[in-house]
Amino acid sequence: MSEPRAKLSNSQFNWPLPVVVALDQPWDAAQDWLDRLQGKIWGFKVGSILYMKMGPQIIEILKSKGFKVFLDLKFHDIPNTVGRATREAFSQGVDWLTVHGSGGPEMLRAAANEQRDEQLVLSVSVLTSLNQADLTSININDSLEDHFLKLAQLSQDAGIRGLIASPHELGLLKTRFPGSLLVVPGVHIDEPAADQKRSLPVSEALKRGADFVVLGRALYEAENWEIQWKKLCSSLGVTY
Ligand code: C5P
């Protein structure tokens, strides 16, 4: 088991709002968001779709505009490959990246060993698209919650410093993993998106202990992004 580390929290990061915006947009549209949100948010999440379109230059573009980069490629491979890919991503300036907790202790350690200061690995436990029947179909017979907690524990023991969590797991995770940075997607501003069955408002997720939230469509799909942004800020008691 790794040594317990000092608790990370969003106050240790240099951010205007503890919000990560998911750049799940075609590049033309995504560029507008860089201008709109410069200086307002911690940074952007880059997933596999945008990364396949733009390649590693997307990291450089975002960093040159002062954004932090959360690379969400969910690594899951043999330990040597994941460790080296993590090192490469961090050497290119990535701030956070994700790995699958189910990659096992050695893979998790290989990624964790590459963490430096504020360059963190975050572990994904059970994807929210999976239900109990899906777990059973791959011969996992634990309850979803037990499985989730087991993978979160494995990740923490390996030295991984952050967890991706759903808003509803926050209470449990805050108590069980007080040293982990909790990054929470599945949040909304007005109403949850149709496919977000267990979403919470951003303000409520932060109140329940999220260190950062990940937000996408609540901003992109708003009729007027500036009004939506102001609504978000006023729900958090800040003006921007
Ligand atoms: O739903 P929304 O558009 O706000 O999602 C923002 C990002 O968070 C997306 O990249 C999505 O894949 C991710 N997400 C997630 N788990 C959820 C909901 C969203 O990883 N339960």
Ligand 1 atom, smallest distance to 124 CA: 20
Task: Give the contacts of 108 (CB within 8 A, at least 6 positions apart).
Answer: 99, 101, 123, 154, 155, 158, 159, 160
Ligand 1 atom, smallest distance to 72 CA: 10
Which residue minimizes the CA distance to atom 4 of ligand 1?
A: 216
pLDDT in tens, 143-158: 999 999 999 999 999 9
* Distance (Å) from CA 2 to ligand 1 centroid: 30
Percent of the chain predicted with pLDDT > 70: 93
Task: Give the contacts of 215 (CB within 8 A, at least 6 positions apart).
Answer: 19, 20, 21, 22, 185, 187, 188, 189, 202, 232
pLDDT band at 196 (very low <50, low <70, confident <90, very high): confident
Tell which phi-psi region holds residue 45, choosing left (phi > 0), alpha (psi between -120 and 50) or beta: beta
Ligand 1 atom, smallest distance to 199 CA: 21
Domains in the chain, CATH or no CATH each: 10-235 (3.20.20.70)
Rounded to 5°, the CA angle 22-26-27 comes to: 90
DSSP-derived secondary structure for 184-200: E-SEESSS--TT-TT-E
Residue where the block lists tokens 């609540």: 218
Per-residue pLDDT at 4: 41
* Distance (Å) from CA 196 to ligand 1 centroid: 9
* 228, 234 contact by CB (below 8 A): no
Which residue minimizes the CA distance to atom 15 of ligand 1?
A: 185
CA atoms within 13 A on the CB side of 172: 13
Which residue minimizes the CA distance to atom 8 of ligand 1?
A: 185
- The pLDDT of 12-34, averaged and rounded, is 84
Which residue minimizes the CA distance to atom 18 of ligand 1?
A: 186
DSSP-derived secondary structure for 58-84: HHHHHHHTT-EEEEEEEE-S-HHHHHH
Cite the active site residues: 74
Best CA proximity match to 47, nearest among 65, 63, 29, 23: 23
Per-residue pLDDT at 1: 42
Ligand 1 atom, smallest distance to 166 CA: 21
pLDDT in tens, 52-93: 999 999 999 999 999 999 999 999 999 999 999 999 999 999
Best residue among 24, 45, 214 to mutate for probing ligand 1's pocket (most ligand atoms within 8 Å of CB) is 214
pLDDT band at 10 (very low <50, low <70, confident <90, very high): low
State the CB neighbour count (10 A cutoff) for residue 112. 23
Per-residue pLDDT at 30: 92
The yes-or-no verdict on residue 142 having pLDDT over 60 is: yes
* Distance (Å) from CA 13 to ligand 1 centroid: 22
Task: Report the C-alpha gap between 25 and 30 in whole angstroms.
Answer: 5
pTM for this prediction:
0.93
